[in-house]
Structure 1
Amino acid sequence: MTVVEERPAPAAAPPPKPAHRLWALLRNSWRQLTSMRTALVLLFLLAVAAIPGSVFPQHAVDEQRVTEYYQAHPSLAPWLERLGGFEVYGSPWFASIYLLLFTSLIGCVVPRLRDHVRALRQSVPDAPKRFDRLPLSSPDFASGETPAEAAARVAGVLRRRRFRTKVREHDDGSFSVSAEKGYLKEAGNLLFHFALLAVLIGVGFGHWYGWHGNRILVAGADQGFCDSLAQYDDSTLGPRVDAADLPDFCLKLTDFRASYETTGQPKMFAATVAVTEGDGPAKTRTFTVNKPLRLHGAGVHLIGHGYAVSLRYTDRYGVSQTKVVPFLPIDGMFTSEGVAQFPDVNIDPKTDKRDPTLQVGFEGRYLPTVGTDGSATSAYPAENSPALFLTAYRGDLGLDVGTPGSVYALDQGQIATGDLKNVSGARPHELKIGDSWTLDDGTKLEFLGTRPYATLSIRYDPTQTLVLAGAALGLCGLMLSLAGKRRRVWFRALPASPEASGGTLLTAGGLPRTDYPGFADEFTQLVKAAEEGTP
């Protein structure tokens, strides 16, 4: 009778500790984040996330357009505001993608840089035993040199062709020559990714510590501009910039020159300004579209120009006011539209009180050159035959309620409600320079002339040089990465048999490390150069 001894069942393996599971989760998540595939996905997401910034108006670019969007889409705009649609590049979700991409690139590039440096410091691997298993190999060919001399000569041929070489002696008396080329491919790849990191760093710090503002500067000593936040038409300061950090300078537009082709295409724009920096003397500087004015702590860029209309209005009590109003171009021939508002007129001298229903506004077009076809557009951008076409409105301009509005158009809501009425008739009134226009209540408007104005973009970007250098290095790295071809070549020098009257037998093999269609021709040339002893 056979006795079967019962053995206890093996104890189950203890479950992994929570700390180990957490560590494994963190390690796998880090590997996934720092993979090249994840970096490409994040780069694509960053491009997609930037699309709303060009579709919807942004607070930092044009506050007026955001207000208009609220008026046009009263139900959608609040939801977009909550989602950061009007401040895309400063929203948490955009910053999250930006930071994840930055982290992914660092985690991806730094280990590759370490491996690349290690590969550069290591010697080229020794020749394999069988060259016939390589993609390319050559038949044996004889040389009258000793194996050592043949190996040294072949190594010299390869070095002159910029191969990294290593000559090794073996126990059987043979010599092998190992050569490798194409390290610039990986170096270019790494350079491209480090340049991308530099661009990301530059954009980030430039957003934090940079600022910009736009200003329409009309020519004339009475139209000066100093670098203070209140004097900009619109401005944006970085999160780490305060209004007190703006540089101290003042500008006055003393001259503006523009020339055009016969077709109306612009040839040259040049603005001349009187610049005062700090307590220093005024200096005359001229700058153009492609040559900005460089000041300490700021750059002044010329981005446009136009004509400012000078108007003098005399109210019913004989009090005159003069305003110089920029009219904005709406086409390439500088057909310009604008508005002149006179809210502080018709004040009763007896009571010193203003009647808000007697405010006056003029809206219309300025044509630098009136065409012969009778159209309401200019025929040429220069002032060859200028004319001003205005429509007069009287009533409440809507400026006293404190609601933001455009300074280049009348409040259409006031016109729609009848608080602002057309008092000039159905057709705009035409004025030449020097003409006057008497309205129905005896008040008078005079067209005194025009002045040129320049649209200036004043900005400071502390990391502009870093971004430019990163872009240039990234382009160089991309070219090296695409042009570089990694490949290895080996030669073996064996002592010939005594029957062959001494000498050396040479054989070669080649291995392309990357896709390189021209490697077969290069290998054939290397073998031929080694056989003939030519460089």
Structure 2
Amino acid sequence: MTTVEDRPASPPAEAPRRPNPLLALLRNSWRQLTSMRTALILLFLLAVAAIPGSVLPQRGVNPENVDRYFVEHPELAPQLDRIGAFEVFGSVWFSAIYLLLFTSLVGCILPRMRDHLRALRARPPAAPKRLDRLPQHTVLEAPAAADPAAIAAVLRRRRWRVQVRGNEVSAEKGYLKETGNLLFHTSLVAVLIGVALGSWYGWHGNKLLVAGAENAFCNTRQQYAEAKLGPRVDSADLPPFCLTLDGFDARFLPSGQPASYRATVTVDRPDGSDRRTADFAVNSPLRLGSANVYLLGHGYAPILKYTDRYGRSQTSTVPFLTSGDANLTSEGVAAFPDANVDPVTGRRDANQQVAFEGLYLPTAPDTAPFVSSRFPEERNPAVVLAAYRGNLGLDAGIPGSVYQLDQRQVTSGKLTQVGDKKLAPGETWTLDDGSKLEFLGTKRYITLSVRHDPGEKLMLGACVVLLVGLMGSLFGRRRRVWFRVTPPDSGSPTGGSSLVSAGGLPRTDHPGFAEEFAQLVAAVRDDGRPDRRAREGVE
């Protein structure tokens, strides 16, 4: 007899293995990131983060407006610039949301796409045992079609996926909804890829181009007022071409509203080959190989001739920037730092430099005050200028705007105002030291944005597919129907005829499913009538 002491000891139970906390954290974080809720939150955050890029001026689009914002908001602008509010779409925080959204969408789409492909390849499920418990159900009596193959043919003609199992017919429809959802989210990923391609391999630059062959512009980085190249783009990758503004046609309604803008330019290569003339407008860019030239704005450049006290003349064509009103009231400055050079010694007195700051009015009013134009077209052109003499501060090497005087020089007294006057074309102003300023007329100028975005075609196609997928996801409805043919029973009240039980189940809320189910049952019933072929022949 075996005692308890003689029994072999059982091996000790193994302690349950504790999961690695780091792996568990990573797994849970990945599940949260790739959930649809997180993707929607990130998409909402991306839309919210893009609001400052629409409200505030951006350096990549209009650097002049950014400079004006700094002048108008000297305390707020530096704080906004510190967080990248003037370069929203290239900021660190916007890029972080962007990358998280991209990762979340990819993590959401791939498992759903795999499951959707499996569902498309799978056969419709078998009929439940009790069709009468479904939301939609009915029983068809003779002369309804009693052949499962005939019922399947009716369903296939109405584009249902059908599976026949003995005396049962299973059918389903509405996979367009999930297909639309996948197309929509895949298109969002494609849009993000297109934006990334444009950011990495794209480039753009802004240029103010004054009419005349002497102001021709060639597509080099040094000639842009502001240029930004993607991290994968070098200056040598810019396509070679030159532009000369030959003319600009602007038409306005009697109210002053613009009717049309059209610029005429001469396009040639730096070596002088392939010279041609081209026109382009605001919504019709000029396409030069991989670069697109967009017309952003226009204005006037007064031609001022200054003769200093020694009789030496200098002529300057100075673009005046529009101040924002619809009548093209413009402001600018014409500087003559090399004025009043002593012809005997050849020395330049830095304290005898001259500049003129003021307004250009395409249609000046007949009486004072001369502070704004009455119409954007040149009907009564005039410049209203204030003359300054002294040290312009240009020799200090401190960067500054060419469209404004250095107010620090004015405040310190190194630059003083010596007069002001309104001039019409052809008029001359004699200053207190005997020097003269003559207003010769104006030239037109245009502001250009030259861009190359390799992802724009991908984004266009993705947006089209996105809309198609959105329509499918909104209007697609998953639903299933089943038909079961019951063999004839001699004791049944139908006299031995077959019975066809039908049931339908919508996978999602579908208010029109009851009507669709009734139409489908009616089609099956009509298909079983003896006079169907005769009726189809008449039709």
Provide the TM-score with structure 2 as the length reference: 0.90
Q: 1:516 to 1:79 in 2, by over 3 A?
A: closer
SS in 2 for 1:200: helix
How many angstroms does 1:76 deviate by? 8.7
SS in 2 for 1:106: helix
Asked if the contact 2:144–2:524 (Cα under 8 Å) also holds between the matched residues in 1, the reply is no
Amino acid at match of 1:108: C
How many angstroms does 1:181 deviate by? 1.1
Asked if the contact 1:58–1:66 (Cα under 8 Å) also holds between the matched residues in 2, the reply is no
Amino acid at match of 1:284: T
Rounded to whole Å, the distance in 2 between the matches of 1:348 and 1:435 is 27
SS in 2 for 1:321: strand
Amino acid at match of 1:152: A
SS in 2 for 1:114: helix
Equivalent position to 1:358, from 327, 352, 356: 352
Structure-2 residue corresponding to 1:143: 143
Rounded to whole Å, the distance in 2 between the matches of 1:72 and 1:337 is 19
For the pair 1:194 / 2:191, whether they are aligned, the reply is no
Equivalent position to 1:157, from 148, 154, 157: 154
Rounded to whole Å, the distance in 1 between the matches of 2:84 and 2:295 is 31
Rounded to whole Å, the distance in 2 between the matches of 1:414 and 1:55 is 33
How many angstroms does 1:154 deviate by? 2.3
Asked if the contact 2:211–2:245 (Cα under 8 Å) also holds between the matched residues in 1, the reply is yes
How many angstroms does 1:88 deviate by? 4.0
How many angstroms does 1:62 deviate by? 6.1
Segments of 5+ residues of structure 2 without an aligned counterpart are none
Structure-2 residue corresponding to 1:401: 396
Asked if the contact 1:57–1:66 (Cα under 8 Å) also holds between the matched residues in 2, the reply is no
Structure-2 residue corresponding to 1:172: none
Rounded to whole Å, the distance in 1 between the matches of 2:58 and 2:401 is 16
Work out the percentage of aligned pairs sharing the same amino acid: 57
Rounded to whole Å, the distance in 1 between the matches of 2:211 and 2:57 is 31
For the pair 1:414 / 2:373, whether they are aligned, the reply is no
Equivalences for residues 300-315 of structure 1 within 5 A: 300-315=293-308
Structure-2 residue corresponding to 1:270: 262
Asked if the contact 2:218–2:270 (Cα under 8 Å) also holds between the matched residues in 1, the reply is no
Equivalent position to 2:387, from 392, 396, 400: 392
Asked if the contact 2:80–2:86 (Cα under 8 Å) also holds between the matched residues in 1, the reply is no
How many angstroms does 1:17 deviate by? 5.0
- 1:10-60: CA deviations, max 9, x gaps? 967536356x44333332222221111111122222233344545666565
Amino acid at match of 2:318: V
Structure-2 residue corresponding to 1:377: 372
Q: 1:12 to 1:437 in 2, by over 3 A?
A: farther
Asked if the contact 2:342–2:348 (Cα under 8 Å) also holds between the matched residues in 1, the reply is yes
How many angstroms does 1:84 deviate by? 4.7
For the pair 1:484 / 2:484, whether they are aligned, the reply is no
For the pair 1:346 / 2:344, whether they are aligned, the reply is no
Structure-1 residue corresponding to 2:95: 95
- 1:59-111: CA deviations, max 9, x gaps? 65566747974996579947963x55554433443322222211111111011
Structure-1 residue corresponding to 2:113: 113
Asked if the contact 2:249–2:263 (Cα under 8 Å) also holds between the matched residues in 1, the reply is yes
How many angstroms does 1:498 deviate by? 2.5
How many angstroms does 1:160 deviate by? 2.1
Asked if the contact 1:70–1:77 (Cα under 8 Å) also holds between the matched residues in 2, the reply is no
Structure-2 residue corresponding to 1:254: 246
SS in 1 for 2:394: coil
Structure-2 residue corresponding to 1:27: 27
How many angstroms does 1:398 deviate by? 1.6
Asked if the contact 1:61–1:236 (Cα under 8 Å) also holds between the matched residues in 2, the reply is no
How many angstroms does 1:252 deviate by? 0.1
Structure-2 residue corresponding to 1:519: 513
Rounded to whole Å, the distance in 1 between the matches of 2:76 and 2:157 is 73
Q: How many residues align?
A: 519
Q: 1:418 to 1:370 in 2, by over 3 A?
A: same
Equivalences for residues 318-357 of structure 1 within 5 A: 318-330=311-323, 331-357=325-351
Equivalent position to 1:287, from 280, 287, 297: 280
Q: 1:53 to 1:420 in 2, by over 3 A?
A: same
Provide the TM-score with structure 1 as the length reference: 0.90
Structure-2 residue corresponding to 1:43: 43
Amino acid at match of 1:350: V
SS in 1 for 2:438: strand
Say which is worse superposed, 250-259 or 55-64, in terms of deviation. Answer: 55-64
Segments of 5+ residues of structure 1 without an aligned counterpart are 170-174
Structure-1 residue corresponding to 2:498: 504
Rounded to whole Å, the distance in 1 between the matches of 2:45 and 2:143 is 61
Rounded to whole Å, the distance in 2 between the matches of 1:258 and 1:57 is 25
Amino acid at match of 2:15: P
| RMSD between aligned residues | 2.7
How many angstroms does 1:200 deviate by? 0.4
